[in-house]
Copies of this chain bind each other. A is one copy, B any other.
């Protein structure tokens, strides 16, 4: 076929081509009643994987039924994309669709219940990029579609640890429906309602006090009242009830017109470990919480706000730490805002979903009796607990000169005086700039462990340093004395930038998820991210979210305040936070496989599927992810 466009400067005078056959639409004429037309004539519905960034310009694909695989204690997600073919609403939107979802049921009668294990969220663009996942009502959600725009619904299935393995089937039912404005004819408007009220009031006045009235007058009054009542009852206000059968149930009719999307989920017997194998510690700025939610540091509301954030984040298999930045990147980090002896601290720190926790070097909420011997007392209490093995001290973010390195040494010495087995974590991407450890930057960077030892146990380095030189990893690891319980962790923040894996807004979905693939392939045993709520300053919970100047969009932000999108106080996850979770789950799959077949086979599966070969060589497509997971399911299920 030759394009129907003639001449370089000529107009395309003929129709072009269309992805979608037009035959189906031929029955539509004039104003469209969605209750009488198959929804498939009104909307496109199709599925997209969780690694797709589905924006308003996403073009429709054929509707195919979905098969997913999930272990127990795993969350698996997918997206349902919807785009109007026509407008049927008569108002500014193209129309409204209703999305229903059934429970997912197995043949043996086990269930994954909608609203509990199955949740739907609306994918909302941030700076024009699909990112925020705003919860929508279940089991029936109404979505407003705009002309010429694709809307995406994020579907997550959380498989409980105790869920019996097997195949679970369910269905999404998408039905084009009338808009609120049109439905409003079913409601009484205010002036109409006032009219009804006045009539009833007159009626009531007539018959209120009849005791002792002459019979004739009573009869007269009652007849008048009956006439009024009859008029009200037969008025258009109540016309939908004349049949006296109550509101007609249209669900059955609707159902025949709906688009049905079958979902089949295979739950396998593997249970992801409750405590994630790889600690991913993620900073939550307490300053941002204090400013935005107007809670005073140390107040009851402040503890509540921190607890809400802590518990909400645990579902993402990450280990939150709260932090406050001081001068020169000195940081106060703490996973529990309470002192060690407080029962709440035990509750927080012993939570089995927490893989690591930060111990504050100085009191989080200063008070007279706390300050004295604070550190020694805290450490003594914590060392007596079984969760002490999860503890670490994070004292300084990216020391850059000798003075800053000395501060770390000084603080670490004190900590190790009280607890020789304490783990001090230091993030860095270079040696001190004012006393170079080596003639070139990378050599100097490599010498930091020797320079800091024994004042740091967790050497946490920027992935940015490695660039695309994966071979440098062995040089870094060579400096870490794992036999002395030293660990190598990594982090990402402003860098590395595209095309390397990171969590910036606008990167591909697999690029977000690959952050964790990279960690696993490089062999780090932990991961740090500096901030999940580091918006620009605001003093109102629902204030517009602004990213901080000078940072790539999305850097330091993995979730949003719920108040921006609805009246809910629950934080709103980003797509990127979901992909962080998916990446951590991928690590559990790879660990399981490696525990059976060896790490080399684990690395081979990354290569064989084409999922991840290096920081510039990983899949942009979702398929290799499903291949990796499917292969591990097949080889490890028995």
Report the bound CA distance from A386 to B581 in whole Å. Answer: 77
Tell which of B11, B90, B187, B221 touches A556, judged by Cβ atoms closer than 8 Å.
B11
Report the bound CA distance from A194 to B4 in whole Å. Answer: 59
Query: CB distance A197 to B238 under 8 Å?
Result: yes
In the complex, residue of chain B having the shortest beta-carbon distance to the beta carbon of A494:
B9
Query: CB distance B247 to A222 under 8 Å?
Result: no
* A130 in contact (CB, < 8 A): no
Query: CB distance B8 to A494 under 8 Å?
Result: yes
* A634 in contact (CB, < 8 A): no
Report the bound CA distance from A555 to B5 in whole Å. Answer: 12
Query: CB distance B197 to A187 under 8 Å?
Result: no
Report the bound CA distance from A244 to B201 in whole Å. Answer: 10
Report the bound CA distance from A187 to B185 in whole Å. Answer: 11
* A366 in contact (CB, < 8 A): no
Report the bound CA distance from A567 to B30 in whole Å. Answer: 10
Closest chain-B Cβ to A468's Cβ sits at a distance in Å of 15
In the complex, residue of chain B having the shortest beta-carbon distance to the beta carbon of A184:
B187
Report the bound CA distance from A429 to B8 in whole Å. Answer: 9
A9 proximity list for chain B (CB < 8 A): 398, 429, 462, 464-465, 493-495
* A347 in contact (CB, < 8 A): no
Query: CB distance A85 to B544 under 8 Å?
Result: yes
A170-187 interface (Cβ within 8 A of B): 180, 184, 186-187
Tell which of B12, B83, B188 touches A187, judged by Cβ atoms closer than 8 Å.
B188
Query: CB distance B15 to A201 under 8 Å?
Result: no
* A6 in contact (CB, < 8 A): yes
A189 proximity list for chain B (CB < 8 A): 187
A368 proximity list for chain B (CB < 8 A): none
In the complex, residue of chain B having the shortest beta-carbon distance to the beta carbon of A225:
B207
A85 proximity list for chain B (CB < 8 A): 540, 543-544
Report the bound CA distance from A531 to B541 in whole Å. Answer: 49
* A230 in contact (CB, < 8 A): yes
* A311 in contact (CB, < 8 A): no
Report the bound CA distance from A94 to B3 in whole Å. Answer: 44
Query: CB distance A233 to B211 under 8 Å?
Result: no
* A300 in contact (CB, < 8 A): no
| Given A126-B148, A546-B18, CB of A204 within 8 Å of CB of B230 | yes
* A203 in contact (CB, < 8 A): yes
A555 proximity list for chain B (CB < 8 A): 11-12
A329 proximity list for chain B (CB < 8 A): 6, 10, 13
Tell which of B186, B191, B232 touches A200, judged by Cβ atoms closer than 8 Å.
B232
Query: CB distance B128 to A10 under 8 Å?
Result: no
Tell which of B16, B84, B204, B223 touches A229, judged by Cβ atoms closer than 8 Å.
B204
Query: CB distance B556 to A247 under 8 Å?
Result: no
Closest chain-B Cβ to A222's Cβ sits at a distance in Å of 5
Query: CB distance B10 to A397 under 8 Å?
Result: yes
Copies in the complex: 2
A92 proximity list for chain B (CB < 8 A): 122, 134, 144, 565-566
Per-residue CB contact flags for chain A residues 68-79 toward chain B (1 = under 8 Å, else 0) read 000000000000
Report the bound CA distance from A193 to B196 in whole Å. Answer: 11
Query: CB distance A197 to B128 under 8 Å?
Result: no
Query: CB distance B564 to A87 under 8 Å?
Result: yes
Which of A7, A494, A543, A546 has the most chain B CB atoms closer than 10 A to its own CB? Answer: A7
In the complex, residue of chain B having the shortest beta-carbon distance to the beta carbon of A95:
B542
Closest chain-B Cβ to A460's Cβ sits at a distance in Å of 12
Report the bound CA distance from A493 to B13 in whole Å. Answer: 10
Query: CB distance A539 to B22 under 8 Å?
Result: yes
Query: CB distance B207 to A539 under 8 Å?
Result: no
4 more contacts with CB within 8 A, not counting A200-B200, A204-B229, are A9-B429, A32-B542, A196-B196, A218-B219
24 intermolecular pairs with C-beta atoms under 8 Å apart: A9-B493, A11-B493, A13-B325, A13-B331, A14-B325, A17-B549, A18-B536, A18-B537, A25-B540, A30-B541, A31-B567, A57-B127, A87-B563, A87-B564, A87-B565, A87-B566, A91-B566, A128-B128, A148-B564, A190-B247, A194-B247, A204-B226, A207-B226, A207-B229
Q: Which 10 A-B pairs have the closest CB atoms?
A: A16-B549, A90-B567, A188-B188, A11-B530, A87-B542, A16-B548, A5-B550, A9-B464, A11-B493, A204-B229
Task: Give chain A's interface residues, CB within 8 Å of chain B.
Answer: 3-18, 22, 25-26, 28-32, 56-57, 83-88, 90-92, 94, 122, 124, 126-128, 134, 144, 147-148, 180, 184, 186-191, 193-194, 196-197, 200-201, 203-204, 207-208, 210-211, 215, 218-219, 221-223, 225-226, 229-230, 232-233, 237-238, 240-241, 244, 246-247, 294, 325, 329, 331, 397-398, 400, 429, 462, 464-465, 493-495, 530-531, 534, 536-546, 548-551, 555-556, 563-567
